[in-house]
Amino acid sequence: MWWFGRKKQRQASAIRQVERTVTLAGYGPLQVHVQIDCLGAVCPRPQLLCMRALDHMAPGEVLELVVDNPSTAEAIPAMDMTLGSTHLLTVRDDESWHIYVRKEALEAED
């Protein structure tokens, strides 16, 4: 928001396949399989990229979404319940939120 003196940030978002381990409070070490960099992006772009990535992930894989938009940080955990995924944790650092999501196996219908 340039009118408040904040530098305009980049708008490019990227979905990347990664293999790295993070340690999350309450979960211990977890392997992150997909990272989405949404710094500078506004709704609904981060949500759409998250949905696209989850569609291509296997059950049990973990996604890390990096955002700097407060409304996105609030919307993703609520959205996860409808996408067959579990919000693990949101970690705030100086300039962004790191949102960790695990894709769950879809339950078979009887």
Q: Which candidate in 43, 44, 55, 71 is catalytic? A: 43
pTM: 0.83
The CATH number for 74's domain is 3.30.110.40
For residue 2, tell me if it sits in a domain.
no
Within a domain: 4: no
Separation in Å, CA 50 to CA 2, 76, 86: 27, 8, 12
Looking at residue 109, its pLDDT comes to 53
Count structural domains, the chain: 1
Mean pLDDT in runs of 10 for the chain (110 residues)? 53 82 94 96 91 94 96 91 92 95 76
Give residue 97's domain range: 10-103
Q: Is 38 a catalytic residue?
A: no
**H helix intervals, the chain:** 45-55, 70-80
According to DSSP, the β-strands at 14-24 and 28-38 are antiparallel
